[in-house]
Amino acid sequence: MTAASSAMRLDALRELPSLPQVIIDLQSAMSREDVSIDAIADTVSLDQALAAKALRVANCSFYGVPGRVVSIRQAIGILGLRSVSTVLTIAAVSQTIPRPSCPGFDMERYWRHSVAVALCARSIARTLHLDADVAFTAGLLHDLGRLALASQAPTCLGEALRRRDELDCTMLEAERATLGTDHAALGSQVAARWHFGPAIVDAIRLHHEPPAAPKATVVDIVHIADGIAHALDLAGDPNELVPPLDTAAWNRAGLTEGQMLLVLEGTEAEVDGLCDALAV
């Protein structure tokens, strides 16, 4: 594939549908202090498909109140606005992106890996007393660019997948060699267009190459969580390969072995339940 034809096909990513307006409003509301829970509940309830999926997720055992949540307003009261925002975001992303038909791309494996990274990132963030909700959402969306490629430019992603399988290299290397760009750069562009905050956009863009920082960041957490999710081999990919880990990011996190083992145990224990609830 030439650089020109690759660029032309990648233009299709611009045609990716927007997230529902309610999610954009929610992202905006989360950064304000005068947010009205009633107004958000009323708006979300108008989108019946989104509200139904959000309630299904809110009722899974992962959130600790299975079967008790019957309305969005109640979900906000029980789970809190930030958790409901995360649930709605999951529901919106999975229903907004057209189902891909890309040879070699497995949607179920994609979501299992993303859910594992989200759970792992949340667990590490809690241990480090960083924002666990942001870490969870960033983890869930870290490979958004790959999903967008599979949906909007399947030939491009298929070429990269073939190269990865032939050379047994990392997916990042295969994408850069065949597309001249990678899923991290493309995913951050989609996330920015979808009005996600800078912490999540940066985590998506930099999750393979965390920059130097004085202390651990959400980017570091998603980078480490991505490595752990690959190492736990949870997605069921026969060609699974653990990508390189940035030692500076690892050392910045500075977790003890005992803390890391608890993170691994928790991630493995929770991934099936959340994937079932999300129906992914």
Partner 1 sequence: MIDKAATHLPPASQAGPQQASPPEPPARADRVEWLFRDALRRRQVHPLMELLRRYRGQEGA
Contact set with partner 1 (CB under 8 A): 168-170, 227-228, 230-233, 238-245, 247, 250-251, 255-262, 264-265
When the beta carbons of 9 and 230 are compared against partner 1, the nearer one is: 230
When the beta carbons of 64 and 238 are compared against partner 1, the nearer one is: 238
Question: What angle is formed at CA 200 by the lines to CA 80 and CA 163, rounded to 5 degrees?
Answer: 130
State in angstroms the smallest separation of the CB of 237 from partner 1.
10
- Identify the helix (H) or strand (E) that includes residue 116: helix 107-128
When the beta carbons of 33 and 257 are compared against partner 1, the nearer one is: 257
CB within 8 A of 71, min separation 6: which ones? 41, 45, 55
**Other CB atoms within 10 Å distance of the CB of residue 81:** 18
Q: How far is 64 from 11, CA to CA, in rounded Å?
A: 42
CA torsion through residues 227, 228, 231, 233, sign: negative
State in angstroms the smallest separation of the CB of 65 from partner 1.
29
When the beta carbons of 61 and 239 are compared against partner 1, the nearer one is: 239
Which structure tokens are listed for 167? 């050379």
State in angstroms the smallest separation of the CB of 231 from partner 1.
5
State in angstroms the smallest separation of the CB of 264 from partner 1.
5
